[in-house]
Amino acid sequence: MIKKGFESIRENKLLMLKADLVVVGGGLAGVCTAIVAARENVKVILVQDRPVLGGNASSEVRLWALGATSSMGNNNRWAREGGLINEILLDNLKRNKDGNPLIFDTVLLEKVYEEKNITLLLNTSVYEVEKSHEKTIKSIKGFCSQNGTTYQLEAPFFCDSSGDGIVAFQAGASFRMGAETPEEFDEGFAPNIEDYGNLLGHSLYFYTKDLGKPVEYIAPSFAIDNAGELPRIRNYRLNEHGCNLWWVEYGGRLDTIHQSEEIKFELWKVVYGIWDYVKNSGKYPDAENLTLEWVGTIPGKRESRRFEGDYMLTQKDIVEQRDHYDRVAFGGWAMDLHPADGIYSDYNSCTQWHTKGIYSIPYRCYYSKDIENLFFAGRIISASHVAFGSSRVMLTCAHGAQAVGKAVALCLKNNWTPRNLAAKDKIGLLQLALNREGQSIPRLQPPDLEDLTTKAEISASSELELSHMNESGEWKPLLFNMAQILPLEAKNSYRFKVKLKAENNTSITIALRTSSKETHFTPDVEIQSKTFNLIEGEQEITFTIDEPITKDSYAYVCFMKNEMVEIMLSDDRFSGIMTVLQKETPAVSNYGKQEPPEGIGVDTFDFWTPEKTPEGKNISMTIEPPIQNFSSINIMNSHVRPTSEGYSNAWLAELNDERPELKISWAEKQKISMLRLFFDCDFDNALPSVFVTHPNSEIPFTVKEYLIYDDNKNLLYEKSDNFQAVNKVVFDEPIVTKELNIVLTKKDVNIPVSVFKISAYSENHL
């Protein structure tokens, strides 16, 4: 037993821990920072003040993680975030395709648990910062309520991904909270603060369940009794729950840090009041058997402090898609601002303005301009209020956090500060390290002089020349304008033959469009348009482009809406090929066309968006001359997805090649310690982390089985259960060979084998 007498005061148990990096905040940004750094042999302490990881994506809040794809409701093609966060999403898809938030908790926890370089402190709140001098953090203190222990954590580098920026705040770093005026950064979308408000509020969700019998509900005394008068109650639909209730929002007029508990309690009042209205007003008779299954206890917080780096992201960076020399991440969610009064506001629940394509985020946004050893990750990065409206979403936060993890490793290795690494003669090291693992920095292809495949000869058993897409027998009515996206070459004029079925004698207009800039996939330039007369019944027509395409580019063969016409589809699917419709996606403020008010600095353009899998089939057509964009030489470039410059960047085998082979050969023997193989994981599929049920647990495009042989036909490596986009193969001992033969197995009868890139290194680059 333990027996202690009276003492005037006692101290908590104190543990002093040292590491190379302390990450504060265990949301997706903090998790990605910690794991990426740990995989570079950085010793990391990850501190999270909650019992689970994931932040707003966790089972405590249950918000789906989204990013540049914007639920496939914008023109950002092949835009899902790459690198570690993509690895996490694919793991979650494999194990949790029904979107259970509890399972997603375990996916994140397992990822952290498996990294031996990470010490995880859950339920630990940081409350004190100690400096070694004015601009350097020495250590921080945190307290774990579950084990009664105080931790003092010391490291040469700190990353604040805590959402409210507790470390950066206590360290004295410059910050902002609330909206700038339109004049400060020439931002036409900056809100009228007095009317619209300064901050975005918190949201709280609930889930319902049908018990198959009548369920009585008696509201708690604190529930509001006027839910039927709420302006946003019109948004409610029976059986709608979880993050579809994002509009149950409040707190933008208050201090979203120090009044967060008050905001939460007001949201409880609203949630239980809404449910009282649903159950007892008589206006929802079908709710008789429903009960509340779950109500959040931690609100999802959108906005508080934003900290200043050496660069501040603004509206023009996003709209103009400016490419900064130090770009390390990208975003693509709409600039999405909410009225501060939230659930009580007469304004629309949000105002979203999209851009024509994805934008890049500079590295200089991810560290403090004041504190020499402090990085930022997550929603607190250096951005204006308007730019924050886009950069705040979780997958964008996680993507940038990966850059922070790599940056820490480079700073440790070279004894640099975060600012040192931002120099123009150094930042390329970070960009290369990120691109090697599939970060896909927009419009950046840094040369990788250590990649042995850049000095090799590449050949394949077959290379797709896309001349036709076979008929499936399925007809699709042209209820919307529909386009087949194809990567066309500058040297050719093209002919496209399609099969149509007309209900009556009518006509159809077909147009070829491209994008005005190589920075986006918006089909805003029409090259040619022709109208064809149709007779009742089935017929084939040929759309001929009379003039050559002037530059390599993705082009859109557009079939304009006619409800009396159907078009033949194909079950064949190809990497870098897809169809889009000019249709609405109201959930992300897409109404077919974006028409902003004059003077706010936002583009007017049409939306052309895909259908979610398993829909979104290609159009059956014959293409003359065949498209030759899928050569094996593509595996030598640095891109691991299709790019808006007009390249698929993928090698595709012929559709009938069941076991295609890639051969990589050198004039002299090479010592190879490590390979990376990059497969197609359908970067156009949004893959929300929770709440959504996905049709497949694996991406159909992704190669599942392959074998690797040396020049003597010795089997070096075998993989039979792959579902990931990036495969890293590390040999126990370096292999010496003049040739690598990679034999891949076709997985789907209608999808050819595809590979984006293969890299080979003489040393094991972590």
Please give the C-alpha separations between residue 582 and each of 117, 353, 484, 517, 561, in angstroms, as whole numbers: 48, 17, 12, 20, 9
Burial grade of 270 (CB within 10 A; 0-12, 13-18, 19 or more)? buried
Q: What is the DSSP letter of 180?
A: P
Pairwise CA distance, residues 632 & 462, whole Å: 9
Write down the pLDDT at residue 240. Answer: 86
Confidence of residue 336 (pLDDT cuts 50, 70, 90): very high
Confidence of residue 241 (pLDDT cuts 50, 70, 90): confident
User: In terms of Cα–Cα distance, which of 372, 386, 333 is closest to 590?
Assistant: 333
Write down the pLDDT at residue 492. Answer: 72
Q: How many CA atoms lie within 13 A of 67 on its CB side?
A: 33
pLDDT tens for each residue of 19-57:
999 999 999 999 999 999 999 999 999 999 999 999 999
pLDDT tens for each residue of 438-457:
999 999 989 999 999 999 99
Token duo for residue 470 = 């076979």
Return the HEC string of 593-656: EECCCCCCCCCCEECCECCCCCCCCEECEEEEEEECCCCHHHHHCCCCCCECCCECCCEECCCC
Confidence of residue 239 (pLDDT cuts 50, 70, 90): confident
Write down the pLDDT at residue 547. Answer: 81
Token duo for residue 67 = 């990013």
Write down the pLDDT at residue 765. Answer: 63
Please answer whether residues 155 and 78 qualify as being in contact, where contact means their C-beta atoms are separated by less than 8 angstroms: no
Write down the pLDDT at residue 549. Answer: 84
| Residue 329 confidence (pLDDT) above 90 | yes
Work out the average pLDDT over 506-535: 96
Other C-beta atoms lying within 10 Å of the C-beta of residue 412:
18
pLDDT tens for each residue of 689-717:
999 999 999 999 999 999 999 999 999 99
Q: Which residue has the tokens 């397992």?
A: 110
Write down the pLDDT at residue 453. Answer: 96
Work out the average pLDDT over 264-279: 97
pLDDT tens for each residue of 576-592:
999 999 999 888 998 99
Between residues 371 and 551, the one the model is more confident about: 371
Token duo for residue 371 = 């504190």
Q: At what angle do helices 28-38 and 101-113 cross, to 10 degrees?
A: 30
pLDDT tens for each residue of 465-489:
999 999 999 999 999 999 999 999 9
pLDDT tens for each residue of 168-206:
999 999 999 999 999 999 999 999 999 999 999 999 999
Residue 754: beta bridge partners?
A: 652
Residue 352: beta bridge partners?
A: 336
Token duo for residue 228 = 């039927």
Q: Report the amino acid identity of residue 395.
A: L
Pairwise CA distance, residues 463 & 628, whole Å: 9
> What's the distance, Cα to Cα, between the start and end of the chain in Å?
49
Pairwise CA distance, residues 409 & 192, whole Å: 42
| Residue 494 confidence (pLDDT) above 70 | yes
Q: Is 408 helix (H, G, I), strand (E, B) or coil?
A: helix
Work out the average pLDDT over 657-666: 97
What share of the chain in percent tops pLDDT 90?
A: 94
Pairwise CA distance, residues 732 & 326, whole Å: 36
Return the HEC string of 502-567: ECCCEEEEEEEEECCCCCCCCCCEEEEEEEEEECCEEEEEEEECCCCCCCCEEEEEEECCEEEEEE
Token duo for residue 229 = 């008068």
Confidence of residue 234 (pLDDT cuts 50, 70, 90): confident
Confidence of residue 67 (pLDDT cuts 50, 70, 90): very high
Confidence of residue 766 (pLDDT cuts 50, 70, 90): low
Q: Report the amino acid identity of residue 557.
A: V
Please answer whether residues 185 and 316 qualify as being in contact, where contact means their C-beta atoms are separated by less than 8 angstroms: yes
H-type alpha helices, 663-765: none
Average pLDDT, the chain: 96
